[in-house]
Structure 1
């Protein structure tokens, strides 16, 4: 049932004092309707993202069969809230979805169905949401390629587009019938007065991105995107363009599940905090998921002993700012990057007139001999070296036990926690077993990090007093070299 934006505000009453005002420009005439929003999230953290949606938007999210995606309903007056989610990478509005799409066995018939599908889809509401979404955010020039949903390594991606050298401004409104935009942001009403009313009408540019997973399809991603994109072009009379597109249409295929959508994010939201990147910088969305696992409380002392560019403590200092964060690394270049990223965020906050200070300190140290008091840290959260771009698998066999031992020393017995990310699963499992008197593994979240199958491990500090267990006197089989040699550093910088 449709209702006006004003009616919705009257119903919510007390919420308006705490929530941002409805972005509708004409509350009395603008109709409110509900659409389904799709979001790509770090694989493994779909339940965490669903919890955030319930917490911040107040609706239940459905976890897709295709890993790394969730879906949830949103009314148009609350569309702005989806951009405040911290666990999602990309957002799109669903045009139509099919749970059990029956693909034809032959390639020709299957592709023919894609061509016919474009004209049968209910595009109107999705395009209205796309327009509203464009009005909610600042337009920072033309959108670039790569803004579609991220694809897992075992799936295919393709764009069906035609190159164009012309650059046009992002349109503010689109006419579904004509596929054109107007200089004042209003759709054409009468074709007879089009030339007079819209002297600067421009053609919409678009691209179709196909994400396909499954081995029972007779067609490729490229073929699906090409034929479906051609049908979209014929139906709307839009112009295909690979890089300078106004609208990105998404064709997501996972076995028998088919979802058609329109992208709402120009650039993945996971790049929100970092300005100075390193060789292994974590996505902010993954950092957020790791932080939610350990549930930071007010006044907690949280340490990242291998902070890299500071992605984890930065995300924590912004989103869970009642705790205090210490970011440290043994590499001076990493420490400088962290300091620069902190300064960048503080400057950005100051320009917006908000409190610029962040509850975070940055230190250079030896991670196996931390300058921190015993039993003084509540949470340790870090991205441990995988032994690929940083360090080596051989060094990890000495490094991991030494790290876990030192982490156990500074962590509070009984209540302390550690959230550790690594792809070197065998080495980590052995190190945890050696430190069994100090750490107890609660559970593991399996994630995809740059195509690598990694684990996020939640450990609980046991109640054992440090200095009174066999693990305290553990000696490594060799000297742990935690410094990066000059050759490696040159390659990294």
Structure 2
């Protein structure tokens, strides 16, 4: 738990309105058309919706002993497009949302870092909603599907404070290039169901968010982090580990292709693998995954008892094809069995969580 809030909560948003964008607006080749419509639509949100949201926001600030006033109220606007693309870039859309807020509250001030409230607009797929409704119909009564170009619904809301300190700084004081958000790291740590006495390893720990969140919330297991990036380990991760001062976690500089751990010494591996341009080229990452899979099999214990036939490795990557390709090698099919593959949403990207069961065989080549 963190300052009275649930550790898994990233953000609480009070919904003000759901806006349906006319297709002629969304697909217009004039970028100002969408911007002008969004500006006016935000300004036109009902006074009752604003009044209720502001009152709830005031009470939340009061509970946390934080000041809240509508005079010189600081705010910022955030637009989360997900997989959508538009002529207007995300910062431009956010600016038009801010313009709409300023039209209604002309004494509010924009502040991108020190703000009392955050306006959030999420783009939600109408096709996804329609498909969910469609599959709920009995098969023989389903209406004819009518697939049209997908125009998003805009869910407009205002955030509530959930803790005195920013979630970004929960149990850490330094950030890496691709650091996970603490609530997501907590959810991942919760997923693996570490038992008393387990040793959990993140071999690509970066700034150390996964082992730190795991160690803080699951104190009966030992959470170990390592990473090949010397600067990140010594300059960022170690400062975070020293900051939290937990006695059931540690971090060291190590290459995932040649880990310094003994055979059969790790119970569970949980890691966000390198992926994306900032972590190297497609070719570099493609060479890394097979070597890492072989090394993880060496250091993982064969599950026994209640954990028998359950995953020993949980790997996150956007490089779905690369990891699938590595798992399909003949030698790798003797080491790992893919139990499940699930979609996650991290930083605007769809990524994949692979749960792998360790097989009690080794490569004979």
The reply to whether residue 209 of structure 1 matches residue 81 of structure 2 is no
Residue 364 of structure 1 is matched in structure 2 by 253
Q: CA deviation at 1:392?
A: 3.7
The reply to whether residue 303 of structure 1 matches residue 303 of structure 2 is no
Q: CA deviation at 1:314?
A: 0.8
Name the CA distance, whole Å, in 2 between partners of 1:320 and 1:296.
Answer: 7
The reply to whether residue 443 of structure 1 matches residue 312 of structure 2 is no
Contact map agreement 2:42 2:97 (CA 8 A) in 1 = no
Name the CA distance, whole Å, in 2 between partners of 1:282 and 1:441.
Answer: 24
Return the match for 1:393 from 279, 282, 292. Answer: 282
For residues 135-154 of structure 1, what are the structure 2 equivalents within 5 Å? Answer: 135-137=62-64, 139=66
Gap regions ≥5 residues in structure 1: 1-55, 57-79, 140-169, 180-202, 347-356, 474-493
Residue 128 of structure 2 is matched in structure 1 by none
Return the match for 1:418 from 303, 306, 313. Answer: 313
Q: What TM-score do the two structures reach when normalised by structure 1?
A: 0.55
Q: What TM-score do the two structures reach when normalised by structure 2?
A: 0.71
Q: CA deviation at 1:382?
A: 1.7
Residue 93 of structure 2 is matched in structure 1 by 221
**Residues 115/320 of structure 1: CA separation in 2 closer, same or farther (3 Å cut):** closer
Return the match for 1:407 from 296, 307, 311. Answer: 296
Residue 10 of structure 1 is matched in structure 2 by none
Gap regions ≥5 residues in structure 2: 26-32, 125-150
Name the CA distance, whole Å, in 2 between partners of 1:121 and 1:384.
Answer: 46
Tell me the matched-pair count.
314
Counterpart secondary structure, 1:88: coil
Following TM superposition, the consecutive aligned residue runs of length 4 or more in structure 1 with deviations greater than 6 angstroms are 214-218
Return the match for 2:48 from 81, 102, 121. Answer: 121
Contact map agreement 1:103 1:110 (CA 8 A) in 2 = no
Residue 339 of structure 1 is matched in structure 2 by 238
The reply to whether residue 428 of structure 1 matches residue 323 of structure 2 is yes
**Residues 129/379 of structure 1: CA separation in 2 closer, same or farther (3 Å cut):** same
**Residues 247/280 of structure 1: CA separation in 2 closer, same or farther (3 Å cut):** closer
Contact map agreement 2:76 2:110 (CA 8 A) in 1 = no
Counterpart secondary structure, 1:84: coil
Name the CA distance, whole Å, in 2 between partners of 1:403 and 1:102.
Answer: 46
Residue 134 of structure 1 is matched in structure 2 by 61
Residues 335-387 of structure 1, C-alpha deviation per residue, up to 9 Å, x if partnerless? 323222111112xxxxxxxxxx3301223334333333322321011222226
**Residues 271/421 of structure 1: CA separation in 2 closer, same or farther (3 Å cut):** farther
Name the CA distance, whole Å, in 1 between partners of 2:256 and 2:43.
Answer: 60
What do you get for the CA RMSD once the two structures are aligned? 3.6
For residues 4-403 of structure 1, what are the structure 2 equivalents within 5 Å? Answer: 84-94=5-15, 96-98=16-18, 101=20, 114=41, 117-137=44-64, 139=66, 170-171=67-68, 174=69, 179=70, 203-207=71-75, 209=77, 211=79, 213=81, 221=93, 225=97, 228-233=100-105, 238-243=107-112, 245-252=115-122, 254=124, 255=151, 257-265=153-161, 269-336=167-234, 337-346=236-245, 357-386=246-275, 388-403=277-292
